[in-house]
Amino acid sequence: MKILVTGGAGFIGSAFVRHMVKKYPHYHIINFDKLTYAGNLDNLREVAHCPNYEFVRGDIENLNFLAWFLKHVDVVVHFAAESHVDNSIGNSLLFTKTNVVGTHSLLEAARVAKVKKFIHISTDEVYGDIMEGCFKETDKLAPNNPYSASKAAAEMLVKSYVKTYKFPAIIVRPNNNYGPFQFPEKIISRFSTRLIQNRKVPLHSPNPVRTYIHVLDTARAIDIIMHKGVMHETYNIGTRDEFSNLEITQKIIAFFGKDESYIEKVDDRLFNDLRYSVDYSKIKALGWEQEISFDEGLRQTLAWYAHNTWWWENFPECQYNK
């Protein structure tokens, strides 16, 4: 089987690529990535020389190239996206261009090339927020920021191809992911790198609640969906590991032996969803179970950032003159 992974040098995409390359030596895994600021081939060092791994630098908006290239591909797993909410508030048009137009271009290329399966990676944020209970896959979408709106729009395009062309697609909506190799712009990766540098952490709102899942559990879930998922269905991927922004911050600070004087309160986003939570019974019915507990996963992740400063210290976001 030949599998093309878009955005395979990004955080979740690279975890999926590493998982697939190591688990399925008889599959050919192609990492197709534009290498924007959050794409990093260092994420793939451990598999870069494997005979079943290949890297192709390219843009998902390049319809003509992809229509030709995908003729030799069986499955597309589409991670490539702009994903940081704060960035979407500051530059929303880029998110529409990449997440909507880019997805449309990739869909059309895959349709023309007659790929056998298309796994579209979305987000739980497309549902909007929920104060109690959990969203099911059949609940309506009500995104509240430009990022989640662009991902919801991309889903609508996928669904339109399913209806119009009987296109072989499956949609996946994961919770907040964390783990090694996450670009230092999300709360766990950003706060850990700042504390390692003895810097304060900018907490913009203590109250929002997020549900967290380790990126390797997500990679395994997508693997299962790719092999066992029902065509044209949608699958949530989640856990019950819910924490407020303040609780997460306190856990990170405690790990590094700091106190709450290291919390710097900053202005909140223009809008901030209060809580995300999904029902993931559908993916469990396929045989998936969470393997990495949050406490253990968080400890491993924070230790990884502490022991792998080479990976992040040269990013502009981490430059700091004491």
Segment 6-34, tens digit of pLDDT:
999 999 999 999 999 999 999 999 999 99
Residue among 33, 59, 82, 125 flagged as catalytic = 125
- The answer to whether residue 101 is domain-embedded is yes
Lookup: tokens for 247: 């609780």
By percentage, how much of the chain surpasses pLDDT 90? 88
Residue among 53, 127, 147, 280 flagged as catalytic = 147
**pLDDT for the residue numbered 14:** 98
Q: Is the pLDDT of residue 320 over 80?
A: no
Beta pairing class for 53-57 and 75-78: unpaired
* pLDDT confidence band for 322 (50 / 70 / 90): very low
Amino acid (one-letter) located at 99: N
Q: 52 is in which domain, residue-wise?
A: 2-180+212-240+273-293
Instruction: With beta carbons less than 8 A apart as the criterion, state whether 53 and 31 touch.
Output: yes
Per-residue pLDDT of 231-277, as tens digits, reads: 999 999 999 999 999 999 999 999 999 999 999 998 866 777 889 99
Helix (H) or strand (E) holding 77: strand 75-78
CA gap 181, 310 in Å, rounded:
11
Residue among 59, 82, 124, 273 flagged as catalytic = 124
- The answer to whether residue 189 is domain-embedded is no
- The answer to whether residue 255 is domain-embedded is no
* pLDDT confidence band for 321 (50 / 70 / 90): low
- The answer to whether residue 191 is domain-embedded is no
CA gap 148, 139 in Å, rounded:
15
Look up 147 and say whether it is catalytic: yes
Look up 46 and say whether it is catalytic: no
Helix (H) or strand (E) holding 312: helix 309-312
CATH number reported for the structural domain that contains residue 77 in this entry: 3.40.50.720
**Count of structural domains, the chain:** 1
- The answer to whether residue 321 is domain-embedded is no
Look up 124 and say whether it is catalytic: yes
**pLDDT for the residue numbered 90:** 73
Q: Is the pLDDT of residue 213 over 90?
A: yes
